[in-house]
Amino acid sequence: MFLADYHIHTSFSIDSDAPMEDMLLSAIDKGMSEIAFTDHVDFDKKYYPEPDYESYIPVFTALKEKYRDSINVVFGVEVGLENKWADKINAFTSEYPFDFIIGSSHAALTKDLYFDQKEYFEGKTKQEAYYTYFSELYKNIQTCHDFNVYGHMDFVSRYGIYEDNSLEYRDYSDIIDKCLISIIEKGKGIEINTSGFRYGIEGTYPSMDILKRYRELGGEIITAGSDSHRPEDTADHIEYAYDMMREAGFKYVSVFRGQKAEFIKI
Ligand SMILES: [Zn+2]
Ligand SMILES: [Zn+2]
């Protein structure tokens, strides 16, 4: 059975110290047919370093070649999208020959949800904080042109400071629909990010109701990713994510070549 983990970090990301080769070997071990390395590039230089693709590309290329008979490895990136940095982001994404780009909201209103958690959430009700996150996400879709799938699109709930951080589609349906429709119209997709199973929500980002809504609105481009930062988490819940896709009505998973989606029957 074809299985692809399309969201994997390595020691080239600030929050991982796993060598790329270890991540690759664990993916082979767990039966992945294909993976995408999607190390972080975020543009708030207060917190994030400049990416070093001069050293990245040779390591990536050598490993891709070394294991080509066992697994297909895709040159990807996870870019932190923020409309404030749109010009820089668009310049960056066209500078390197990425096969696949995840665009993710790690910040809203220029506040990083992890580093500036207090500044972003304090003084806002849950409804305001989550709604604003999706409004910002919508702006990012309009201004950042070069992503292929939106990463963990309801991820704001991971950092909520509320007694109950859960996020229900029905409470934000108008703005979430607006985002999904725009993603579809622009020929882009979303991912099912399984890291929620490791961050206490016992589920995926986004949840099943958002996934079903995306399909209902005509969404076809979909990937699944573990968002692993350690070899033991690689491929985590990928089969589960494929089951979710089938249940939501998807017949194909997407893989990417030169940022063009190709469809593989699931
Ligand atoms: Zn992310
Ligand atoms: Zn990630």
d(CA 122, ligand 2 centre) in Å: 25
39 alpha carbon – ligand 1 mean position (Å): 9
Per-residue three-class SS string for the chain: CCCEEEEECCCCCCCCCCCHHHHHHHHHHCCCCEEEEEEEECCCCCCCCCCCHHHHHHHHHHHHHHCCCCCEEEEEEEEECCHHHHHHHHHHHCCCCCCEEEEECCEECCEECCCCHHHHHCCCCHHHHHHHHHHHHHHHHHHCCCCCEECCCCHHHHCCCCCCCCCCHHHHHHHHHHHHHHHHHCCCEEEEEHHHHHCCCCCCECCHHHHHHHHHCCCCCEEEECCECCHHHCCCCHHHHHHHHHHHCCCEEEEEECCEEEEEEC
Span from the CA of 205 to the centroid of ligand 2 (angstroms): 12
Q: Ligand 1 centroid to 9 CA: how many Å?
A: 10
From the CA of 116, how far away is ligand 2's center (Å)? Answer: 18
Mean pLDDT of the chain: 96
**pLDDT score of 199 more than 90:** no
Alpha carbon of 41 to ligand 2 centroid (Å): 10
How far is ligand 2, taken at its centre, from the CA of residue 129, in Å? 21
Ligand nearest to the CA of 226: 2
Which ligand approaches the C-alpha of residue 114 most closely? 1
Once rounded to an integer, what is the mean pLDDT over residues 51-73?
A: 96
pLDDT of residue 144: 96
Ligand 1 center to residue 41 CA distance, Å? 10
The number of the ligand nearest the C-alpha atom of 16 reads 2
- Predicted confidence at residue 133, as pLDDT, reads 98
Q: pLDDT of 92-149, one tens digit each?
A: 999 999 999 999 999 999 999 999 999 999 999 999 999 999 999 999 999 999 999 9
Assign 200 a pLDDT band (cuts: 50, 70, 90).
confident
Ion ligand 1, residue ranges at CB < 5 A: 104
Domains present along the chain, CATH in parentheses: 4-265 (3.20.20.140)
pLDDT of 201 reads: 84
Q: Say how many Å lie between the CA of residue 251 and the centre of ligand 2.
A: 25
CA of residue 12 to ligand 1 center, whole Å: 14
Ligand 1 centroid to residue 150 C-alpha, Å: 10
Is the pLDDT at 256 greater than 90? The verdict is yes
> What is the CA(151)–ligand 1 centre distance, in A?
6
pLDDT digits (tens, 9 = 90+) for 141-186: 999 999 999 999 999 999 999 999 999 999 999 999 999 999 999 9
> Which ligand sits nearest to residue 155's alpha carbon?
1
227 CA to middle of ligand 2, Å?
A: 5
Q: How far is the CA of 5 from the centre of ligand 1 (A)?
A: 14
Residue 102: per-residue pLDDT: 98
